[in-house]
C-alpha cells in the first residue's frame, strides 16, 4: 500500500480566504507544504479515495493517481463530502452515444448511509449518480469488510458513533486511518500495533512549543473535539510503529515550520509522530 495525502486541512483550510495572519500569508506566498486543502486521502493498491472535500478536483489533478476504483466516506460533515461531484467528473461519458460511463464503486458505512439521507442532500445526489450510470452504491452493514485488489478494508465506528475509521490489511501490513473525530475514543486491541496510524491532530488548547494558552478553558469546542494532548494519549495507547497526524485546521495557528519543530520535540520524547502535508506519499 501507498498512502497519498491529497488534502491535510480541515473545515478551515490554509490559507483561509481573506485572512492575512502569518500562517495564511506564508501559505499563500509559498504554497505546498505550507498550504493545506480539505481532508482527503488516497490509498494506492486498492485505489480507494477516502472522502471528497470541495477542492478534491484540484487535489486529484496535482496527485499521482492514475485510476480511482472506489470512494468511501467516513462521515457526513461538509468538509468531507461536498466535493462528491468528482464521481461524475471521473465517470461520465459526454461524447459517445449511448454513453460508455465508467462506474465507480461508492462505499457507504451503515450510519453514514442513514446520515446521508438527512444531511446536505448527499443520499439524493449519490442516488442520482447511480441512476445516471456513474456509480454503484454499496451500503455496508457494521462489521462488514470489503476487499479491493487484495486489500481488506474494515470500517468501524469511533466513540462519536456517526463517524468511521478504517482498518486496512494487505501483504501482512496494517494501516489505521481515522479521518476525524477522535473525541473519547479508546483504541480496541484489534487496532493496536499497526504499521501506520493516520489520525486527526485535534484541537490545540495550548501552543505545543511555547505552552501559551490558545483557547479559553471554557470553550465549547472541548465538548466535541479531542485536544492535541488527548490525541497524543491515543497515540501512546495505539503503540503503532508510525503515526502521521492530519486534519490540521487554520484556527490552530501553527505554521508548517512549527510542526516540523514539534516533530523533533515529540521524537526526542520517544513518539514516532509526524505531521502530514498536502501531496505527501508514504509507502507501507
Is residue 15 reached through a cis peptide bond, with omega within 30 degrees of 0 on the bond before it?
yes
- Residues 94-115 have pLDDT tens digits of 999 999 999 999 999 999 999 9
Mean pLDDT of 49-54: 98
What topology is assigned to 2-283 in CATH? Metallo-beta-lactamase; Chain A (3.60.15)
Q: What is the pLDDT of residues 113-143, one digit of tens each?
A: 999 999 999 999 999 999 999 999 999 999 9
pTM value is 0.95
Rounded to whole angstroms, the Cα distance separating 256 from 30 reads 11
Distance separating alpha carbons of residues 118 and 125, to the nearest angstrom:
12
Which of the four pLDDT bands, split at 50, 70 and 90, describes residue 284? Answer: very high
Residue-wise pLDDT tens digits, 135-166: 999 999 999 999 999 999 999 999 999 999 99
Contacts for 97 with CB less than 8 Å, ≥ 6 apart: none
Q: Which residues contact 218 (CB under 8 A, 6 or more apart)?
A: none
Amino acid at each position: 500500500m501507498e498512502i497519498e495525502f491529497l488534502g491535510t486541512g480541515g473545515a478551515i483550510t490554509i490559507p483561509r480566504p481573506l485572512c492575512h495572519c502569518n500562517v495564511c500569508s506564508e501559505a499563500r506566498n509559498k504554497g505546498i507544504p505550507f498550504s493545506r486543502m480539505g481532508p482527503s486521502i488516497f490509498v494506492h493498491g486498492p485505489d480507494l479515495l477516502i472522502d471528497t472535500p470541495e477542492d478534491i478536483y484540484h487535489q486529484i489533478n496535482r496527485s499521482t493517481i492514475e485510476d480511482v476504483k472506489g470512494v468511501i466516506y467516513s462521515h457526513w460533515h461538509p468538509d468531507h463530502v461536498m466535493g462528491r461531484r468528482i464521481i461524475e467528473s471521473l465517470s461520465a461519458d459526454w461524447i459517445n452515444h449511448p454513453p460508455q460511463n465508467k462506474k465507480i464503486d461508492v462505499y457507504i458505512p451503515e450510519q453514514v448511509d442513514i446520515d446521508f439521507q438527512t444531511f446536505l442532500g448527499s443520499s439524493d445526489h449519490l442516488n442520482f449518480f447511480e441512476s445516471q450510470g456513474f456509480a454503484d452504491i454499496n451500503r455496508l452493514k457494521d462489521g462488514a469488510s470489503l476487499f479491493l485488489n487484495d486489500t481488506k478494508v474494515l470500517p468501524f465506528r469511533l466513540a462519536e458513533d456517526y463517524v468511521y475509521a478504517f482498518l486496512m490489511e494487505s501483504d501482512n501490513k496494517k494501516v489505521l486511518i481515522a479521518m476525524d473525530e477522535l473525541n473519547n475514543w479508546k483504541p480496541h486491541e484489534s487496532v493496536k500495533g499497526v504499521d501506520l496510524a493516520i489520525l486527526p491532530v485535534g484541537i490545540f488548547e495550548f501552543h505545543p512549543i511555547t505552552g501559551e494558552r490558545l483557547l479559553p478553558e471554557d470553550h465549547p469546542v472541548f465538548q466535541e473535539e479531542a485536544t492535541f494532548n488527548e490525541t497524543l494519549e491515543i497515540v501512546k495507547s495505539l503503540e503503532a510503529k508510525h503515526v502521521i497526524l492530519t486534519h490540521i485546521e487554520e484556527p490552530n495557528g501553527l505554521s508548517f515550520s512549527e510542526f516540523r519543530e514539534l516533530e523533533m520535540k515529540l521524537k526526542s520524547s520517544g513518539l514516532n509522530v509526524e505531521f502530514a502535508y498536502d501531496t505527501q506519499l508514504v509507502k507501507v
